[in-house]
Amino acid sequence: MRIVCIGAGNLATRLGWALKEAGHEVAQVFSRTVESASALAGKLDCPFTVRPDEILSGADVYLFSVKDSVLEELAARIAPNVGGALCLHTAGSMPMDVFRGHAARYGVFYPMQTFSKNTAVDFREIPVFLEASDAAAYGLAEELARSVSGNVRAMNSADRRYLHLAAVFACNFVNHCYALSEDILRRIDVPFDVMWPLIDETVRKVHQLPPREAQTGPAVRYDRNVIGRQLDMLEGEPDMREIYDAMSRSIHRLAQEKDKRKEER
């Protein structure tokens, strides 16, 4: 297919590369800055523009990989000028209907993964969630998705909002906990890499067990001695102390629910 990439950030970079490797033609890159547009266009060996009125016509797919805050504006400005081409956005938390009234055919192409411009990913393993305005549009989106991913699923906008929320907990919040852990380790001059084996084993366990079953630590049994001492250690860090306390109570509550279900069985 002939594709125009709207956006040149982390996701657009990795997806654009995956599409090119799958044999599609990335005909153009649009971004609001010359620096980002030219960088991605250079990787994909295609022209770029920073002007919406210079976006090429005649492509099969216009792929919007931009911040949620500008998606509606760009959809309203660009989609009316692409004729019958398929407009897709890649946002997890934005509805498909941002294109309604602007594009003849439209949908969502949401690869659920965290991306970095300079870190290669195996797109075949990334689940891609699709939604489209009609059966023909869905068929085209599915063909595109299956050319890069081995895990393609249909999902409506309402359910995708919950999927994105779950991803925030599983990725963004977990990574923030890593950052807090690194801050604590820095106080005693210990590098964060001492945590890698622990992190790797934690991830390995949830490949084999439900997360509730894999949970360990003092919060499961709510060991007040350990929890109290550690809360005292965070006395000068109100935000971190609040996170620690809220997380401990949440872990204990889920553990109690799990035990109650076992007793009922």
CA–centroid distance for 246 within its chain: 25
Confidence grade of residue 187 (pLDDT, cut at 50, 70, 90): very high
Confidence grade of residue 59 (pLDDT, cut at 50, 70, 90): very high
User: Residue 264 has what pLDDT?
Assistant: 75
User: Residue 129 has what pLDDT?
Assistant: 98
- pLDDT reading at 263 higher than 80: no
- Residue range of the domain that includes 114: 2-155
- pLDDT reading at 62 higher than 80: yes
- Same domain for 133 and 178, yes or no, is no
Domain boundary residue, one of 131, 155, 179: 155
Each residue of 80-130: pLDDT tens digit? 999 999 999 999 999 999 999 999 999 999 999 999 998 999 999 999 999
Is residue 71 within 8 Å of 102, Cβ to Cβ? no
- pLDDT reading at 260 higher than 90: no
- Same domain for 94 and 171, yes or no, is no
CA 157/CA 93 separation, integer angstroms = 8
Domain boundary residue, one of 118, 139, 155: 155
- Same domain for 135 and 81, yes or no, is yes
- Same domain for 109 and 189, yes or no, is no
